[in-house]
Amino acid sequence: MREQIPQKIIHKYLRQKKHFPHVWCSGCGIGIVLGDIIRAINLLDIKKDDIAMVSGIGCSSRMPVYIDVNTLHTTHGRAITFATGIKLAKPNMKVIVITGDGDGTAIGGNHFIHAARRNIDLTVILINNNIYGMTGGQASPTTPVGDIATTAPYGVIERNFDICELAIAAGASFVARTTAFHTIEAKKIIAKAISKQGLALVEIITQCPVIYGRFNKKGSAVDMLKWQRDNTIPVESISKMPEEKKKGKIVRGILVNKDIPEYTKEYEKLIENVSKPQNYTKTHKKI
């Protein structure tokens, strides 16, 4: 399929009339991710009516209001829980969760782990800007050790989460990482994540030039995008790379993609079994 020029695609999906300008600072990477998601949805050609986009609270979580699907902006950290309810009530919907590093791995960390354990069919797009943006720059579970935040004026001393490792360890069926810089890769990864049956986590490293960048002298938005380009390496090429080139670099790409039982499908089987007592006793005996 040949793609149209990007702007046209975006116009098909944005709620143009009511909600612009958007809330994000200039140079912020969250808008780029919104573009990636729209292009992925367009690539898959999913009906807007069949998509739910659910977010928590934070700069990143402000995303759903701009896109013309079924959109739900919930409470801090709880997006995955609301999404779980939607998915179980309407298993045929594609449910996309938008969350931040604080929303998804601090206050909402427990839900993140358990959604991965259940392997429920949600696409979790976690926008990692290494800071609490919305509240003015406090440290998050992914602020690098030594970096400055308003609540870490002497530098962070806590170790960070590796969000992808966390998702893998908790059992997610699809785990990937990309950046705001790699938008073509991001589109493809997001499309695969949405198509995946099971919990799909996509961590997108995104620049927050106005707060994290400014506090930590990371330069302009462009400088931060270049940093993403220069400090990440694709997972496909790490086996061929010499050790010294890999040092300190972040691995990008699809890290896990496996087929394991998905929660809503398993629940449908359970309903099927319960409605036929003979099946029910059979499955019972297996245990």
Partner 1 sequence: MKKNDDKKAPQLLQGNEAIALAAIEAKIRFFAGYPITPSSEIAELMSRELPKYEGKFIQMEDELSSMGAIIGASIAGLKSMTATSGPGFSLMQENIGFACIAEVPCLIVNVMRGGPSTGLPTSPSQGDIMQARWGTHGDHSIIALYPDSVLESYELTIRAVNLSEKYRTPVILLLDEVIAHMRESVILPQKEELNIIERVKPDIPPEWYVHYKDSPDYITPVANFGEGYRFHITSLAHDKYGFPTRKIDEVKTMMDRLRNKIYDNLYDIIQIESYKMQDAEIAIFAAGVVARSAKEAVRIARKQGIKVGLIRPLTIWPFPDYDVQRMLEKCKDIIIAELNQGQLYHEIERVWSERTKSRLHKLQRYDGLILSSEQILSKIAEVK
- Considering beta carbons, is residue 7 or 275 the nearer one to partner 1? 275
Q: Which does 44 bind (CB under 5 to 8 A by kind): ligand SF4, partner 1, ligand TPP, none?
A: none
The least CB distance from residue 26 to ligand SF4, in Å, is 8
Distance of CA 30 to the CA centre of its chain: 11
For residue 124, give both structure tokens: 């979790």
Q: Which does 18 bind (CB under 5 to 8 A by kind): ligand SF4, partner 1, ligand TPP, none?
A: partner 1
Q: Say if CB 122 and CB 85 are below 8 A apart.
A: no
Q: Which does 211 bind (CB under 5 to 8 A by kind): ligand TPP, partner 1, ligand SF4, none?
A: ligand SF4
Of positions 29, 35, 64, 102, contacts ligand TPP by CB under 6 A: 102
Contacts with ligand SF4, residue ranges (CB under 6 A): 24-25, 28, 30, 59, 129, 133, 208-211
- Considering beta carbons, is residue 90 or 214 the nearer one to partner 1? 90
Q: Which stretch binds ligand TPP (CB under 6 A): 15-23, 52-60, 168-176, 273-281?
A: 52-60
The least CB distance from residue 137 to ligand SF4, in Å, is 8
The verdict on 101 binding ligand TPP (CB under 6 A) reads yes
The least CB distance from residue 218 to ligand SF4, in Å, is 12
Contacts with partner 1, residue ranges (CB under 8 A): 15, 18-19, 48-50, 52, 54, 57, 64-65, 68-75, 77-78, 80-90, 92-93, 110-111, 113-114, 267, 270-271, 274-275
- Considering beta carbons, is residue 139 or 254 the nearer one to ligand TPP? 139
Query: Can you tell me the distance from the alpha carbon of 194 to that of 124, in angstroms, rounded to the nearest whole number?
Result: 9
For residue 284, give both structure tokens: 């019972």
- Considering beta carbons, is residue 173 or 207 the nearer one to ligand TPP? 207
- Considering beta carbons, is residue 74 or 140 the nearer one to ligand SF4? 140
Q: Which amino acid does the sequence have at 248?
A: G
Residue with tokens 């993609």: 257
The least CB distance from residue 30 to ligand SF4, in Å, is 5
The least CB distance from residue 224 to ligand TPP, in Å, is 14
Q: Say if CB 209 and CB 137 are below 8 A apart.
A: no
Distance of CA 73 to the CA centre of its chain: 15
Between residue 128 and residue 147, which ones bind ligand TPP under the rule CB under 6 A?
129, 131-135, 140
Chain positions contacting ligand TPP, by CB under 6 A: 57-60, 76, 100-103, 127, 129, 131-135, 140
